Structure 1
């Protein structure tokens, strides 16, 4: 299937799912039907061309799949038919045109635990595979698969209705929605598996959804901060790989290839939100990204200020990934030995046992510290631990360059 077909299906999937959930109210059954329609589209559209009304085509096929399934169970069919005509399940007057936003809040239902909320939204709205979500959460795939199944069951048992929560209930779900969008963007920016470093369709979708949320909640500092962070990070996308797709580290990137227009928009958003209220982790990360983007050269980057921001971020939103990033900044400011000492505190953190990140950072700092053999071993361990082909190649090349050095 071509990229255009994939992009079209990704855009239409939450819209079709939203229409079915409005009509029938059975979240998990509707998702199964949509998956059947998508499968039919992947077989028929490349050969015959996409239909004039692709959304209507998908909705019709998914609707028929539901009807066929319900015909096998007459009691269930009667129950769902009645639900279809329940006025409470019809679209609210004046509601948002894009059902994707409603799906975001539905998956952030308060009956679900925060990890289940994020996982379900990534699967249903973001379109990530279970394996990709497991990588984002730093847990085994089997654990994530079970978590998603339980989340779907909880949504069904709670009788959740397909509608936006009232404004006074938004804050309870907003943190989860923002975290979901953040993870979708990260998976697109640096894919956890596959042949390419980027998955542009995910970064584009994450930014689109965050813009939509920002239009509704422009006064929320963290919504603005997240959008700024995405833009300031995505502005460097074209410079992160060479013509063959190989990774180019930040320090070696051609900064003329960074998108100055996108950087300017991100900085305007950041300046608008800083000082306007409590500062959260997305605003802090956006400020760090802005410092990188503003530096004319790698050598002119304000690393002491970046380290100070990571110190704040560690207090506001502590976690292993934040600690890894802080260790890099610490090494730049105070030397690789200081960074390696900080990494030592993370060796027992089981949340890093399913990712290559700790060994990759350790290898980089060992190389800087003048220990090529230990660095080489860490690079190779990191390469074995990632499913990203480009990251494997990059780490293996770094290891090969250290072979034979003393």
Structure 2
């Protein structure tokens, strides 16, 4: 058994403990800045002391104790500490928690706090990704396709608004949940996506983030068992995560859906995801609300996972589902995914025309250029395809994805 290095131990602890520490400190002190900065200080202290003293037997407990002390020290050092304490008490909700259920989960409380309707929708998502997901401002900015400085300002303003508006740290009442749920679901899905294909760093997959997103999805399902979009999001994450064992090769290269070993997929997760979808289909048939964006995306993934091979994929059904999805979510990325499906049904020329309509808005998005490169390759336009691959490689931050794109580009010569 290989003993992890100190650096690996700190990285693992950051993945496993960041969200729990920030959420716990936010609950205790009612101040998001204090919670985030004390947690960061605890990890900095670990980086300084663990190489000399060794990794403690319980890294999470050590970090929790250190972060708590850092938070107390910071509040004591504040020149306006009395006013700061009073402001913190306004945010902190010390109403006794219910004895059972997901309300007791600090991280779920933090999600709902950050997704308060007083905040702008994009700020809700960005703030939660920063505090709960531990994502850098650069990573969040890339997910939103905006400049890093713009995202930093959004996050700062959102934290200030929570303090100024005296937003309590708690899961809202049943009547308040609908106003926040869309933001919560968006946050959970973005956390999952950042784990499934990180935008930067040396890791091709961050299992800590995908696992945390699925955990939150299960808690939301317990909290709202009759909500179709909650069930749809959980089904979507399960069906997507089921393919993770086949997603990266032994050499560290991304393996696309068409090339994956389908025998390596997790059939237990697929069965659970499909069961959630069947439940929603029955509910719609019985007069329930029509499927929303997460249910439609889950249905698309279900078609993929049901196909025994890529040749047997029902692309016509996938394209039809994307047609319905675009009516609910006409974002450029959804339209890009629809164009890829259209190419499978109507040919690469038709698909390329759809993709090129998105050139202005998605020029800085690597997947746009990767899709163009593949369609140009299929059309026999090798020079243009190579240029598109080069652009995609330059924009991609994930090492596994860069390796895959480089291989595809280099195959053009032969």
* TM-score, scaled relative to structure 1: 0.92
Q: How many residues align?
A: 400
Aligned to 2:160: 153
Contact 1:28–1:156 (CA under 8 A) maintained in structure 2: no
Matches within 5 A, 1:4-403: 5-45=10-50, 47-52=53-58, 54-55=60-61, 57-74=62-79, 76-81=80-85, 89-94=93-98, 96-276=103-283, 277-278=288-289, 279-349=291-361, 352-403=362-413
Separation (CA, whole Å) in 1 of partners of 2:339 and 2:411: 24
SS of the residue corresponding to residue 164 of structure 1 reads: coil
Separation (CA, whole Å) in 2 of partners of 1:390 and 1:59: 33
Cα distance change, pair 211–7 in 1 and its aligned pair in 2 (3 A): farther
By how many angstroms is 1:91 displaced?
A: 4.8
Q: Which moved more, 1:352-361 or 1:291-300?
A: 352-361
SS of the residue corresponding to residue 175 of structure 2 reads: helix
Separation (CA, whole Å) in 1 of partners of 2:204 and 2:63: 30
Separation (CA, whole Å) in 1 of partners of 2:357 and 2:87: 54
SS of the residue corresponding to residue 246 of structure 1 reads: coil
Contact 2:15–2:209 (CA under 8 A) maintained in structure 1: no
Separation (CA, whole Å) in 2 of partners of 1:355 and 1:390: 17
Query: C-alpha offsets along residues 353-378 of structure 1, whole Å, 9 cap, x if unaligned?
Result: 33111111011111111212211111
5+ residue gaps, structure 1: none
SS of the residue corresponding to residue 194 of structure 1 reads: coil
Separation (CA, whole Å) in 2 of partners of 1:190 and 1:167: 34
Separation (CA, whole Å) in 2 of partners of 1:85 and 1:195: 41
Query: C-alpha offsets along residues 158-195 of structure 1, whole Å, 9 cap, x if unaligned?
Result: 11211111111101111001001111111111111123
By how many angstroms is 1:157 displaced?
A: 1.2
Query: C-alpha offsets along residues 59-116 of structure 1, whole Å, 9 cap, x if unaligned?
Result: 4433332333333345x32234556778973252326332000000001022210000
Separation (CA, whole Å) in 2 of partners of 1:201 and 1:24: 26
Q: Which moved more, 1:392-401 or 1:300-309?
A: 392-401
Contact 2:10–2:43 (CA under 8 A) maintained in structure 1: no
* TM-score, scaled relative to structure 2: 0.90
Cα distance change, pair 328–284 in 1 and its aligned pair in 2 (3 A): same
Cα distance change, pair 195–221 in 1 and its aligned pair in 2 (3 A): same
Separation (CA, whole Å) in 2 of partners of 1:52 and 1:388: 31
Contact 1:28–1:153 (CA under 8 A) maintained in structure 2: no
Query: C-alpha offsets along residues 298-350 of structure 1, whole Å, 9 cap, x if unaligned?
Result: 1011110000001001111111111111111111111111101111211222x
SS of the residue corresponding to residue 404 of structure 2 reads: helix
Q: Which moved more, 1:372-381 or 1:21-30?
A: 21-30
Contact 1:29–1:66 (CA under 8 A) maintained in structure 2: yes
Contact 1:15–1:98 (CA under 8 A) maintained in structure 2: no
Q: Which moved more, 1:14-23 or 1:323-332?
A: 14-23
Separation (CA, whole Å) in 2 of partners of 1:310 and 1:184: 23
Cα distance change, pair 69–379 in 1 and its aligned pair in 2 (3 A): same
By how many angstroms is 1:156 displaced?
A: 1.5
Q: Which moved more, 1:113-122 or 1:95-104?
A: 95-104
Separation (CA, whole Å) in 2 of partners of 1:261 and 1:5: 32
By how many angstroms is 1:269 displaced?
A: 1.0
